[in-house]
Amino acid sequence: MKHLISVLVENKFGTLNRVAAMFSARGFNLESISIGETEDPEISRMTIVTRGEDRIISQVLKQLNRLVDTIKVTDLTHQPHVERELLLLSLKLSKSTQHEIFELANVFKGKVVDIKQKSITIEFVGSPDKINTAIDLFKPFGIRELARSGAVAIHRGES
């Protein structure tokens, strides 16, 4: 099954390579990986989406922990969390489709970030599932290009 893993790492040259190379060397599935600095400039947070049986996931978590540059590894999958992904979707635009595109973009709370005579770029934020649905529904209008950030995730606060 799909697992969402959050990893705090040293914000150092080569850390992303160490993590990605470990996944490929051990044959683990790596669906997406995203990384960015945290409030402490010496530490980055990585969000990793992977798939596998429990036995594999347990190895993934242990192998991540084993890397010297990882500080904390958390499997968020079964914990309360918020997960978001960013999608930039560039579509073909014509008079006949314009109206429908705007309407659908509204449904997904999309934000137009660029518009030209024959193209439009819309920004969407949501769970990866919602992003997948958006892509499916916009496909018939003609996708020029798209870019996804990969998931980022964080624990929900204590109530």
Partner 1 sequence: MHNNGEKLIGSEIFFECLRRENVEYIFGYPGGALLKVYETLHDVEDIKHILVRHEQGATHMAEGYARATGRPGVVLVTSGPGATNTVTGITNAYMDSTPLVVFTGQVPSSLIGNDAFQEADIVGITRPITKHNFLVKDVKELATTISKAFYLATNGRPGPVLVDMPKDVLNAECVFEWPESVEIRGFKPTIKCHANQVQKAAKMIAKAKRPLFYIGGGVISAEASEELRKLAIDQQIPVTMTLQGLGAFPGDHPLSMGMLGMHGTYWANQAVSNCDLLIAVGARFDDRVTGKVDTFATQAYKIHNDIDPTNVDKNIKVDLPVVGDSKDFLASLIEAMPKTKEDRSSWLSEIEAWRKQCPLDYAVEQDSLKTEFVIDEVSKQTRGHAVVVTDVGQHQMWTSQYYKFTEPRSIITSGGLGTMGFGLPSAIGAAFGVTDRPVVLFSGDGGLMMNIQELVTAVYNKLPVKIFLINNSYLGMVRQWQELFHQEKYSFTDLAASNPDFVKVAEAFGCKAMSASNPESARNAITEALAYNDGPVLVDFRVVRKDMVFPMVPAGGSISDMLLARLNPKTMV
Please report how close the Cβ of residue 8 comes to partner 1 at its closest, in angstroms.
9
C-alpha–C-alpha distance, residues 92 and 101, integer Å:
10
Instruction: Give the interface size with partner 1 as a residue count (CB under 8 A).
Output: 21
The answer to whether residue 13 forms part of the interface with partner 1 (CB under 8 A) is yes
Report the residue from 16, 30, 71, 154 that binds partner 1 according to the rule CB under 8 A. 71
The answer to whether residue 59 forms part of the interface with partner 1 (CB under 8 A) is yes
Single out the segment in contact with partner 1 by CB under 8 A; choices: 51-59, 89-97, 119-127, 138-146: 51-59
The answer to whether residue 67 forms part of the interface with partner 1 (CB under 8 A) is yes
b/e 3-42 (16+ beta carbons within 10 angstroms → b)? bbbbbbbbbeeebbebbeebbeeeebeeebbbbeeeeeee
Which of 47/70 has CB closer to partner 1? 70
Amino acid type, 69: D
Single out the segment in contact with partner 1 by CB under 8 A; choices: 9-17, 103-111, 124-132, 151-159: 9-17
**C-alpha distances in angstroms, 139 versus 35, 116, 144?**
28, 19, 10
Give contact residues for partner 1 (rule: CB under 8 A).
9-10, 13-14, 17-18, 21-22, 25, 55, 58-59, 62-63, 65-71
